[in-house]
Amino acid sequence: MSVTDISISAWGHACGEKLALFAARRHDLYSVVHAAAQVLVIRLAGAALAYASMILLARWLGTFEFGIYAYVWVWILLLGIIVPLGFSSAALRFVPDYLAREKWRRLRGFLKQSYMVVAVVGTLVALIGAGLVFVLRDIIEPYYFVPFLIGLVCVPFSGLLGHLQATARAFCWVRLAYTPDYVVRPLVFIAIMAWLILAGVTPDATDALWAVVAACLAAALIQSVFVLRRILRRLPATRSVYHTRYWAAVSVPFVMIEGFNLLLQNSDVLMIGTLLEPRDVAVYYAAIRTGSLIAFVYFAVSALAVPKFSKIYATGTPEEMQKFVTGIIQLMFWPSVLAAIVLTFLGSFALSLFGDDFAQGYPVLLVVLVGLLVRAATGPVGYLLNMTGHHMDTVRVYGIMTVINIMLNLLLIPQLGIIGAALSTSATIIVTNTWLYFLVRRRIGVSSFVFPLRQDVGRKWRSDCRQMELIG
């Protein structure tokens, strides 16, 4: 064989590999678009139910009682995220990895251990939290005392729902991941509250929170049955292997990330509930939940893209990751812009549906939209770092920005009220995502902005790609 024949053969081989990578890249993006469309449909249905339930609840309870409910519900969400101790996020990293490499024993061990953690920690958090509420009963406002105790009953079920969702996401079971929490739970909640109204009961925050407990329990039981059945069909019968230290080493930073991230998103509500009245909580909560309607596409695309970040980083190329990330952000940003424009014109009307007191939340809505659009423009940068082994960077950023956010809230809420909380939160979102964007560029050499900039793509991967570059 001549030198020319060898060169042509090498060139053909390289072209074949590049075409295969291009096809795989398009398949990854197509699968995310297809699955994200399913998530978006479920999320839209769930959002319609959740938003309708919020409107009905605000009218049934009144502004004061609705504010109590919203404040306690945020605490339930925060503690429910902490309960899995990071194993929910770790599932998005380990499950796709073990599936791809057919590490069945490790996968079974990880799943068993993660659910044991959720059960034990959820119970402990509820018991310890109840003890603290009793100890601090002279400090806590009287109207929060009983609602807090009911909310703590819900914490284990909230944690279990979140972990079941993460497990189903990791296996790419889209409908099973989101339908129970976003459709079944609000349906059960609305049904219980409507039954109380029809029975002639005048509900208050405690009634609403008991309905939340029942709804979370029903959704968790239904999802548990279906997830367990699918796992048993999917995995071969084999002995479980436990890598507890390794899993814990990865999961603990994740719980810090999740906790800080949730505080970043909800510390404004918690601070308003501490510094102002339940009525202010109600107005602010309605405004930010209305603004979060633009995040549906961001949420749907992120939910399916996250496991693929880990897969591409483990088995793909820098160029493949850049193309995938660019496509993901384009899918997130432009629909978010359209939704923000719609909410700018219709936001005042949407808030008026909650009641006459809620129209004052419109400036809050406008401020929140700015921060959410910046987040959509940079994509899921935190997840991108987490799924590529740079989770400690995310911990550091979220930790620092959480402290700054709390300080800003302490400074601005007494001066400006709920608009001060909105300014603090929006500014924090913008700085956080900008900081994470530059870390993504530095760590993995990928531009995660809606208008990608020229750069040295994948600096960390260059040694792994050198042979392919020489052949090409």
The DSSP secondary structure of 198-211, one letter per residue, reads HTT----HHHHHHH
- CA–CA gap between residue 189 and residue 407 (Å, rounded): 35
Element (H, E) at 50: helix 3-61
Residue 407: both structure tokens together: 């300080």
Count the neighbouring beta carbons within 10 Å of the beta carbon of residue 363.
14
- CA–CA gap between residue 98 and residue 110 (Å, rounded): 10
The whole domain housing 414 covers 9-471
Q: Which of 204, 196, 271, 272 is nearest to 66 (CA)?
A: 204
- CA–CA gap between residue 427 and residue 216 (Å, rounded): 33
- CA–CA gap between residue 438 and residue 436 (Å, rounded): 5
Tell me, rounded to whole angstroms, the distance of Cα 386 from its chain centroid. 13
Q: Is residue 3 part of a domain?
A: no
Contact between residue 178 and residue 39 where contact means Cβ atoms under 8 Å apart: yes
Distances (CA, A) of 288 to 134, 402, 405: 31, 18, 16
- CA–CA gap between residue 71 and residue 208 (Å, rounded): 12
Cβ-based neighbours of 273, under 8 Å, separated by 6 or more: 67, 71, 74, 281
Q: Is residue 252 part of a domain?
A: yes
Residue ranges for the chain with pLDDT beneath 70? 1-40, 300, 303-304, 306-307, 310, 314, 316, 452-472
Contact between residue 423 and residue 412 where contact means Cβ atoms under 8 Å apart: yes
Tell me the whole-structure pTM to 2 decimals.
Answer: 0.76
pLDDT of residue 169: 84
Amino acid letter for position 69 = Y
Q: Is residue 313 part of a domain?
A: yes
H-only helix segments in 353-361: none
Amino acid letter for position 360 = Q
- CA–CA gap between residue 372 and residue 359 (Å, rounded): 21
> How many structural domains is the chain composed of?
1
Question: DSSP class of residue 389?
Answer: T
- CA–CA gap between residue 402 and residue 260 (Å, rounded): 6
Q: Is residue 1 part of a domain?
A: no
Q: Is residue 435 part of a domain?
A: yes
Q: Which of 213, 366, 186, 386 is nearest to 294 (CA)?
A: 366
Q: How many residues does the chain have?
A: 472
Look-up of token digits 């930790």: 399
Tell me, rounded to whole angstroms, the distance of Cα 396 from its chain centroid. 18
Q: Is residue 73 part of a domain?
A: yes
Count the neighbouring beta carbons within 10 Å of the beta carbon of residue 178.
25
Residue 425: both structure tokens together: 């939160």
> Residue 213, by phi and psi: left (phi above 0), alpha (psi -120 to 50) or beta?
alpha
Contact between residue 287 and residue 368 where contact means Cβ atoms under 8 Å apart: yes
Tell me, rounded to whole angstroms, the distance of Cα 184 from its chain centroid. 19
- CA–CA gap between residue 179 and residue 45 (Å, rounded): 9
- CA–CA gap between residue 453 and residue 163 (Å, rounded): 36
Cβ-based neighbours of 375, under 8 Å, separated by 6 or more: 295, 298, 429, 433
Positive or negative torsion for Cα 193, 194, 195, 200: positive
Positive or negative torsion for Cα 81, 434, 291, 324: negative
Look-up of token digits 């050198």: 466
Cβ-based neighbours of 430, under 8 Å, separated by 6 or more: 370, 371, 374
- CA–CA gap between residue 359 and residue 370 (Å, rounded): 19
Q: Is residue 2 part of a domain?
A: no
Element (H, E) at 285: helix 278-291
